[in-house]
Amino acid sequence: MATITIDGNVFEVENNLTIIQAARNNGIDIPHFCWHPQLSVAGNCRMCLVEVEKMPKLVIACSTQVANGMIVHTKNPRVIQARQAVMEFLLINHPLDCPICDEAGECKLQDYAYAHSIGYSRFEEEKVHKPKRVELGAHVMLDTERCIMCSRCVRFCDEIAGKPQLTFTQRGDHVELTTFPGEKLDNPYSMNVIDICPVGALTSRDFRFKARVWEMSATETICPGCARGCNMNTWVRNNEILRQTPRYNPDVNQSWMCDWGRLETLRQVNSDARIRGPLMKKDTGVVEVGWDEAVVRVSSELKSFRKGEIAVLGSAFDTNEDNYALQRFAREVLQTRNLDFKRHEAPGQEDRLLISSDRTPNTRGAVEVGLHPGEHGANVEAIVRGIREGSIKSLLLVDDNLAADAAIAQILSRLEFLVVLASVENETTRLADIVLPTSTYAEKNGTFTNLQGRVQRIRPSVATLDQDRALDGFAMSRLDKLGSQFDRWAKGAKRDARPTWRIIAGIALLMGGRFKYQTAEDVFADIASHVDAFSGMSYRRIGNKGMLLKSGKEMRVHQPA
């Protein structure tokens, strides 16, 4: 350990840290552009200049290692003057177009111009003009004039994505960021360069000019794109997700997120094919009905079949709470052993960084909470075989599209009664006798368990008509103050969807089941009480970084009474 002094404060720090790391670990902010904690040191912006006593010149904090007895000054007049000079230099050719820049409100250069600049420029000559609106790839747009050559994006492609695609050309004040000849910025993590760009040089082609940062709300949640469970923020305006960005978690995804997870998962939420309300087949065709009518019909039809004639298929796209309630319903109420969920493996699509071959967010959780056939039950293949042979006559299918396979679609058409819980219209919902609309990951509370066995929270960022009943007490107290304003906001969604656990609990109640759940947190408390792997967990303890399952213990699940 080394003892150092920063601005008069004495700290014990590790010997291998640099000044900027030591300061950051102790709550002292040293301004910087090119330094990033997950990237190599470039030392080219000079914004982190500090004074170290007994050194003749100012040093850059990002590459100067601490030493025992070192005395550092980060705010004295000499350092402040140096920062002002660096800012003046950076702003010589930078366009002063903050009002029309997409980065306004979350731009380091803008913030530092207020905090560390002299407030005016002595430069009176013509600024150097460079290419604008350059399409680097399918997702990233470059404004070369705004680039300050910090090289963060270049280093990210080289060191993290493992695909060198960006470089600098020209010299002096004519330096330009560009792709290598014949290359495009098309690696699976290309949009991370937007997040780490400290200015408005790199912007999202999908999000560009849609909203300002101060017009949106940000909600901490989990990406449902694969079993990695990357931590992310969803950004919402007018009850619509406009973008998704990575949220730092050193145990899961560091500061990164893949492009597919950012874009494709939100498109499901915003899809025009969202199911707006319960649907039922009648003599006149498929019609929209109320929830009460739909749930009563489901319960009465299911009662007409023997327990061996009913099968239940859950989903690894659903939360632990959804799947736990579903397996309880199958075992306790329907008393069927025909219970499983379909795996969605894509061998060869995984990589060394984040992307998993398991394309669902909760396979591990589904297994742990008991969504499996057990020793004498029927798995997915046996259930499909039973439908084909006629021994299984009714199927409750949750948040999966089995009929995407034409052969299975033919088999499903033989069912006497098919109930589908889904959020988006698909081949399977078109075969269903009753369709009940489910909330997506962005519209409900709950937890996913990732491939590491880490249980992580998802939170609602957009509203459905049912959303006000699924919020926690704190949120409800705030909504009481908003009153009719929230009602108008929620109804603007026009999605009468409900979380799967709530739908199942409603059906179970009509069939004699005792599911006394009012919130997702109630369901999770039941999981923690009955499944050893979740023992001792709560939403509060999981927090925003997650909590690992307890390993090495036999799992207990509810069994038929």
pLDDT tens sequence across 17-45 = 999 999 999 999 999 999 999 999 999 99
Give the side-chain half-sphere CA count within 13 A for 27. 3
Average pLDDT of span 232-257:
96
510 occurs within a structural domain: yes
Tokens in use for 478? 């705030």
pLDDT above 50: residue 218: yes
Rounded Cα gap, residues 263 and 252, in angstroms: 19
pLDDT digits (tens, 9 = 90+) for 418-458: 999 999 999 999 999 999 999 999 999 999 999 999 999 99
Q: C-alpha distances in angstroms, 475 versus 459, 483, 489?
A: 12, 12, 15
**What is the rounded average pLDDT for all residues in the chain?**
92
pLDDT above 90: residue 499: yes
Rounded Cα gap, residues 463 and 239, in angstroms: 7
Gyration radius of the chain over CA positions: 28
pLDDT above 50: residue 558: no
245 occurs within a structural domain: no
Q: Give the domain range for residue 326.
A: 279-548
> What does DSSP say about strands 2-6 and 71-73: parallel, antiparallel, or unpaired?
parallel
pLDDT above 80: residue 555: no
- Which pTM was predicted? 0.90
Average pLDDT of span 375-403:
95
The last residue of a domain, from among 73, 90, 107: 90
Report phi then psi at 517, rounded to 5: -105, 130
Task: Report how many domains make up the chain.
Answer: 2
505 occurs within a structural domain: yes
Instruction: Give the CATH number of the domain where residue 399 resides.
Output: 3.40.50.740
Average pLDDT of span 236-260:
96
Residue 561 vs residue 52, higher pLDDT: 52
Average pLDDT of span 484-496:
53
Rounded Cα gap, residues 161 and 254, in angstroms: 13
| Angle (nearest 5°) at CA 280 between 275 and 285 | 105
Tokens in use for 182? 């014949």
173 occurs within a structural domain: no
Q: Are 187 and 165 in contact (CB under 8 A)?
A: yes
What percent of the chain lies above the pLDDT cut of 70?
Answer: 93
The last residue of a domain, from among 90, 107, 138: 90
Tokens in use for 332? 């306790």
**In the structure, what pLDDT confidence band is assigned to residue 551 with cuts at 50, 70 and 90?**
confident
The last residue of a domain, from among 74, 90, 106: 90
pLDDT digits (tens, 9 = 90+) for 171-207: 988 999 999 999 999 999 999 999 999 999 999 999 9
pLDDT above 60: residue 560: no
Residue 493 vs residue 458, higher pLDDT: 458
Rounded Cα gap, residues 399 and 416, in angstroms: 20
- What per-residue confidence (pLDDT) applies to 424? 96
Length of the chain measured in residues: 561
Average pLDDT of span 320-333:
97
415 occurs within a structural domain: yes
392 occurs within a structural domain: yes
Rounded Cα gap, residues 348 and 163, in angstroms: 18
Average pLDDT of span 264-273:
92
Instruction: Give the CATH number of the domain where residue 37 resides.
Output: 3.10.20.740
- What per-residue confidence (pLDDT) applies to 263? 95
pLDDT above 70: residue 472: no
Rounded Cα gap, residues 263 and 258, in angstroms: 9
**In the structure, what pLDDT confidence band is assigned to residue 484 with cuts at 50, 70 and 90?**
very low
pLDDT above 90: residue 561: no
257 occurs within a structural domain: no
110 occurs within a structural domain: no
Average pLDDT of span 50-72:
96
507 closest CA partner among 281, 288, 226, 303: 303
